[in-house]
Amino acid sequence: MTTAAPPQPLTVQGLTKSFDAKTVLNGVDLVVEPGTVLGLLGANGSGKTTLLKCVLGLLRPTDGSALVMGDNAWDLSAHTKASLGYVPQEVSSYPWMRVRQAIDYTAAFYPSWNHGLVADLCERWRLPLEERTGVLSVGQLQSLGIVLALGHEPSLLILDEPVASLDPLARRAFLRTLLDILESEDRTVIFSTHITSDLERVASQVAILREGQITYHGGLDQLKDQVKRLRITAKAPLPPAFAVPGALRTRIDGATATAAVSAFDPAVVDNLRHTWDVDVDVTDLNLEEIFVELHGG
């Protein structure tokens, strides 16, 4: 017996979005498999929010397509909408509503609202249920937004900078919850961030958005295995002709040089040792360092 494959959570092809003369997304291609935790990494203004809004059907693409669970993002079916969860960058709520009322109000839209999960999250994040949402701190408002997005247990959860306004403790609490909900089933999570240390804990995949295009998409582990820094030490000053094959950039300073490579190959290192009679140290880079190297240092 064969079972139908679950629909692809996200298939983006040639997605372009311009605002008047300004092109923000310039041919984005991105396919996300079920059960993936994808960290969307990009500098400020790289188009992360625009991409997520196109995927959610909140913005209409200028060109190209975005399919969410097989549905055109601009024309989502009620069923697909019910399996989507979204936390915007800035959570807004009716300021006169109490937290409890805001939750009940949202719950009323969904036939399958998990009241137990929501009560649990509110307790863990110490959300003041009787407080009016208008007086909540930014962090509390963000937590409320996440609770509201998780209540119907979406199969695709999209978070736009979910932790940017949270303090370190609240961020850690949020990451734990994210890890908790990942354990249960094949849920796909896409979250944009520029906080690389959070991404390193939870993401299985990374997509790097730069100048409106995806410049890397793949496993976080593979990325860390591929991008390395080489420290080269020679006995005499290195000649100007010295170069590391495939380097993003090479900086020579007398008898030492540093180079960052995006596709580490031990054979290249051996070759350097033998060709130039140098000592080569290979350093692992963390995601923040990789991000900086890939953006030209």
Binding-site ranges for other proteins (CB under 8 A)? 37, 172, 175-176, 179, 182-183, 196-197, 200-204, 220-221, 224-225, 233, 235, 273, 279, 283-289
CB of residue 129 to other proteins, shortest distance in Å: 27
CB of residue 224 to other proteins, shortest distance in Å: 4
- Complex with other proteins: residue 107 or 182, whichever CB lies closer: 182
- Complex with other proteins: residue 204 or 250, whichever CB lies closer: 204
Place of tokens 């984005």: 28
What's the CA gap between 205 and 69, in Å, rounded?
19
CB of residue 74 to other proteins, shortest distance in Å: 32
E strands, the chain, are: 10-19, 22-32, 37-42, 63-68, 71-72, 84-87, 156-160, 188-193, 205-210, 213-219, 228-233, 247-253, 256-261, 279-284
What's the CA gap between 57 and 128, in Å, rounded?
32
CB of residue 152 to other proteins, shortest distance in Å: 23
- Complex with other proteins: residue 20 or 183, whichever CB lies closer: 183
CB of residue 223 to other proteins, shortest distance in Å: 8
- Complex with other proteins: residue 194 or 201, whichever CB lies closer: 201
Cβ-Cβ contacts under 8 Å for 90 (sequence gap 6 or more): none
Place of tokens 């094959």: 245
Half-sphere exposure of 81 (CA within 13 A, CB side): 10
- Complex with other proteins: residue 160 or 198, whichever CB lies closer: 198
What's the CA gap between 164 and 35, in Å, rounded?
24
CB of residue 128 to other proteins, shortest distance in Å: 26
Tell me, rounded to whole angstroms, the distance of Cα 223 from its chain centroid.
Answer: 14
At 27, phi and psi to the nearest 5? 85, 60
DSSP letter assigned to residue 238: P
Closest CA to 82 of 58, 102, 110, 105: 110
- Complex with other proteins: residue 137 or 283, whichever CB lies closer: 283
- Complex with other proteins: residue 150 or 178, whichever CB lies closer: 178
CB of residue 159 to other proteins, shortest distance in Å: 15
